[in-house]
Amino acid sequence: MENNTNILIVDDREENLLALEGILDLPNISLIKATSGEMALEKLLSHEIALTILDVRMPGMDGFETATLMRGNKITREIPIIFVTAISKEDQHLFKGYESGAVDYLFKPVSPTILRSKVAIFLELHQQKNRLKIAKDKLTNEVELRKQAEKEKDRLIRELQNTLAEVKNEISERMRAEEELKEANRELDTFVYTVSHDLRSPLTPIISYADYLCESCRDRLEEQELGCLAEISDSGKRMVALMEDLLTLATVGQVERPSEQLDTGAVVNDVICDLTEELSGAGVGIEVADLPSLSVPKTLLYQIFHNLIGNALRYAGKEGSPIEVGGERRDDLVRFYVRDHGPGIPEEERSQIFEVFYRGTTGKESPGTGVGLATVQKIARLYGNRAWVEETPGGGSTFWVEMVDVETAAENEAKSL
């Protein structure tokens, strides 16, 4: 529903106002009456007026003065004025009216048809003006919104550029740090290899001389002296084992990946054959399930199973339950497990068990160097994943090793192209 348009009619005579009301009794028009110039100015300031029909001759402030004051006020200066007068039609009076701000003149007695026609024209102009104002305001708002959107876009672009620059710098820093770390690891591996190799040389005669003295002088030495020689030999052998393990750990990354799939089951059988003596001593069996093949150097896969099965025999092989070995494939990921039913590993130690030289509370009483599981973890990471330990249902430990089978991954990638 449209709002009514206000028209101000000004005349000091009530009968003239009533006559104008009768003529302008039209739809969507509200008539606001004033009986003096002063009252007309008050109504103009308190209402939104589309048109003023103003009598010229009024006591006090006449129509010319009222129009002049209207034109001097920024609020009312744009409101059109139709003068209604019964005075002379001479040019000088007309000029004075137009100079005061009139846009049209009507002479009494007023013709209803002419008045309605003129009012209709001014109201149409008023509506067009309002429509233009609405369109202008809308356009101004759209322009402002676009300016704000442009500013926001520029801000987001700057933020994105800054973020990209930060990411680029971070990637560069990480690549540099990664390269430095690789170089440090290479230097460390070289150092460990050199030290381990050099330390093995003097250990060989120490162990040999201790064993020789123990055998050749057994009838001339006291029991305590023989015990000392045996301790020297055992310590030397433990040191040699540690050196061997450190050499294996240092050379893990230097073995080339084979071009063909490796029979994992055959590797596990080799490990079991090499651990025959330990198996006899532990009095447990080994159950081997189906094992997936993958493209990994045989020496490294042997190290994984030799360490995991050997640990199971040393630390958990006296409970009578068999050691279980198995695996599975998930696309290009291959998982192996070695499960025992021994005392298990406390939960708080499971994240540390793969650290070099960490033995844990359950392994301190058993022989070992503390390097085997670190070697397993290094091999797993070298081939794209990790090793971890979980609790075996019912008690014990299940060691998992997960690696990426590069050959399978390459085949899958080729199929997707």
**Amino acid 338: pLDDT:** 95
Which of 110, 140, 162 is where one domain is finished? 110
Assess if residue 190 is contained within a domain. yes
**Amino acid 93: pLDDT:** 54
- Torsion angle of alpha carbons 207, 213, 218, 222, nearest 10°? -90
**Amino acid 387: pLDDT:** 92
- Top pLDDT among 283 and 89 is at 283
Verify that 336 and 228 share a domain, yes or no. Answer: no
Residue carrying structure tokens 């997936």: 292
**Amino acid 360: pLDDT:** 65
Which of 211, 231, 254 is where one domain is finished? 254
pLDDT greater than 70 at residue 157: yes
Verify that 220 and 324 share a domain, yes or no. Answer: no
- CATH code: domain of residue 413: 3.30.565.10
Q: Pairing between strand 386-391 and 397-404?
A: antiparallel
**Amino acid 42: pLDDT:** 92
CA distance 391 to 179: 37
Verify that 235 and 356 share a domain, yes or no. Answer: no
Verify that 41 and 103 share a domain, yes or no. Answer: yes
**Amino acid 302: pLDDT:** 86
Assess if residue 15 is contained within a domain. yes
Q: How many domains does the chain have?
A: 3
10 Å CB burial of residue 267 (0-12, 13-18, 19+) is buried
**Amino acid 335: pLDDT:** 93
Which of 200, 234, 254 is where one domain is finished? 254
Q: What is the mean pLDDT of residues 176-202?
A: 74
Verify that 283 and 415 share a domain, yes or no. Answer: yes
CA distance 143 to 150: 10
Q: How many helices (H) and strands (E) does the chain have?
A: 11, 10
- Top pLDDT among 367 and 34 is at 34
pLDDT band at 231 (very low <50, low <70, confident <90, very high): confident
Assess if residue 216 is contained within a domain. yes
**Amino acid 9: pLDDT:** 92
- CATH code: domain of residue 96: 3.40.50.2300
- Indicate the range of 73-77, 133-137, 257-261, 410-414 predicted with least confidence: 410-414
Cα–Cα distance list, 166 to 59, 157, 170, 175 (Å): 81, 14, 6, 14
Assess if residue 354 is contained within a domain. yes
pLDDT band at 91 (very low <50, low <70, confident <90, very high): very low
Assess if residue 407 is contained within a domain. yes
pLDDT band at 161 (very low <50, low <70, confident <90, very high): very high
Q: How far is CA 79 from the centre of its chain?
A: 60
Q: What is the mean pLDDT of residues 7-32?
A: 90
- Top pLDDT among 309 and 182 is at 309
pLDDT band at 101 (very low <50, low <70, confident <90, very high): low
Assess if residue 209 is contained within a domain. yes
Verify that 417 and 303 share a domain, yes or no. Answer: yes
**Amino acid 1: pLDDT:** 38
- Top pLDDT among 184 and 147 is at 147
pTM as predicted: 0.48
Verify that 415 and 266 share a domain, yes or no. Answer: yes
pLDDT greater than 60 at residue 191: yes
Verify that 230 and 370 share a domain, yes or no. Answer: no
Which regions of 122-267 does DSSP assign to beta strands (E)?
none
Verify that 161 and 26 share a domain, yes or no. Answer: no
**Amino acid 414: pLDDT:** 44
Domain that holds residue 22: 5-110
- CATH code: domain of residue 195: 1.10.287
Verify that 398 and 296 share a domain, yes or no. Answer: yes
Q: What is the mean pLDDT of residues 362-386?
A: 76
Asked if residue 109 has a cis previous peptide bond (ω within 30° of 0), the answer is yes
pLDDT greater than 90 at residue 8: yes
**Amino acid 324: pLDDT:** 93
pLDDT band at 266 (very low <50, low <70, confident <90, very high): very high
Assess if residue 26 is contained within a domain. yes
Assess if residue 131 is contained within a domain. no
Verify that 341 and 402 share a domain, yes or no. Answer: yes
List all residues 6 or more positions away from 6 whose beta carbon is below 8 Å from its beta carbon: 30, 31, 32, 47, 48, 49, 50
pLDDT greater than 50 at residue 348: yes
DSSP lists the bridge partners of residue 5 as 29
Verify that 169 and 300 share a domain, yes or no. Answer: no
